[in-house]
Structure 1
Amino acid sequence: MSSTTNPCAREIKFAGELRTCNLNDPIVLDTIAGGHTMRNLSLLMKFSGQRPLVGQYGDTPAACLKRFLEQVYSVSDVENVITLGLIGGGTNADDAFALVKEHVTGQPLAANALIASEVIAALFVGAQEAA
C-alpha cells in the first residue's frame, strides 16, 4: 500500500532502501488488537500468540505511543512497531522479521527508536503530520 492511498502510510529510509510503513492496515490492526481471525493468525503466531505492543501503560497503540513520547519504550516496542509497519506497508511478514533482525536487533537503539516513533505517530495523526 503506498502512502498516497493511506494517509497513515509513511515512506521511511530503512535498511538502505525507501520503504513504506503503515500500521493502519486491517491485518496489522487486528494483530495489534490480539484478534484471532484467519487473516492474521499466522502473523499473530510470529509474535508467540501475544499482542505485540505489550508494555507500560498497556498493549494498545495509544499506550505504545505514550511510551515513545515519554521515552520509556522498550526494545520490543521498537522492533515490533517497525516490523508491523513494514508488514502493513506491503513487505512480506518473513522479510519484515528478517529485516528487523538484521537491522534493529542488537543495534544501537536511538535511530531505530526514531523510526518506530514516527511510524506509530503516523497512525494517530497521519504521515504528513508525523514528519
Structure 2
Amino acid sequence: MARDARIELDFADGTHSFRLGWGELATLQEECDAGPYMILHRLHSHQWRVQDIANVIRLGLVGGGMPPADALRKVRNYVEKRPPLESHPVAIAVISAGLLGAPEEPVGEPEAPIPEVA
C-alpha cells in the first residue's frame, strides 16, 4: 500500500479528502514563511497564526483533489468567516497526516506468513 498521507475528514458541508504532498508542503512553507514542522509546532503550542490554519486546510483540499477555486471558496466560507479554533483541529489533522502519514496507513513491510510445521 502506498503511503500518500491522504485522509478523509468531516469539514464544512461534508466529508472531504485532504492531502499535503511535497508540492503542497512547499507552497505552505512559502505562504506561511515557516517550515511545515514549525507550522505543526505552532498549531500545537498555541503560537499559530490564522493563515497557518487557513492555508493548511486550503492546500490540503487542493492536494486531496479539489479544484483550487473551490478550495479557496470553501476556506473563505467555512474557515475565515468562523472562529479560528473551530478549524484548528482540522488543520492539525491535515498537517500531521502530511508529515507523518495517515493514522490508518501501516508503517513498514507486511509481516511474512508463518510457515506451517508438518
Same structural fold, with TM-score higher than 0.5 when normalized by the shorter chain: yes
AA matched with 1:106:
K
1:53-91 CA-partner distances (Å, limit 9, x unpaired): 22xxxx110110110110111111110000000000000
Superposition TM-score, scaled by structure 1 size? 0.72
Indicate whether 1:100 and 2:97 are aligned: no
Which residue is 2:28 aligned to? 32
The secondary structure found in structure 1 opposite 2:16 is strand
* 1:126 maps to which of 86, 101, 105: 101
Superposition TM-score, scaled by structure 2 size? 0.79
- State the shift of 1:7 in Å: 3.7
Indicate whether 1:10 and 2:2 are aligned: no
How many residue pairs align between the two structures? 104
Distance (Å, rounded) in 1 between the aligned partners of 2:76 and 2:60:
14
Structure 2: state its 5+ residue gaps: 105-118
- Which structure has the bigger radius of gyration? 2
Structure 1: state its 5+ residue gaps: 34-50
Distance (Å, rounded) in 2 between the aligned partners of 1:5 and 1:112:
28
Which residue is 1:36 aligned to? none
- State the shift of 1:111 in Å: 2.1
The secondary structure found in structure 2 opposite 1:52 is helix
| Moved >4 Å (runs of 4+) | none
Distance (Å, rounded) in 2 between the aligned partners of 1:94 and 1:5:
28
Which residue is 1:45 aligned to? none
Greater relative CO (CA pairs within 8 A, separation 6+): 2
Change in 2 beyond 3 A, CA 1:32/1:110: closer
Identical aligned pairs, as a percentage? 31
1:31-67 CA-partner distances (Å, limit 9, x unpaired): 235xxxxxxxxxxxxxxxxx1222xxxx110110110
Change in 2 beyond 3 A, CA 1:20/1:6: farther
Contact 2:4–2:19 (8 Å) recurs in 1? no
Which residue is 2:114 aligned to? none
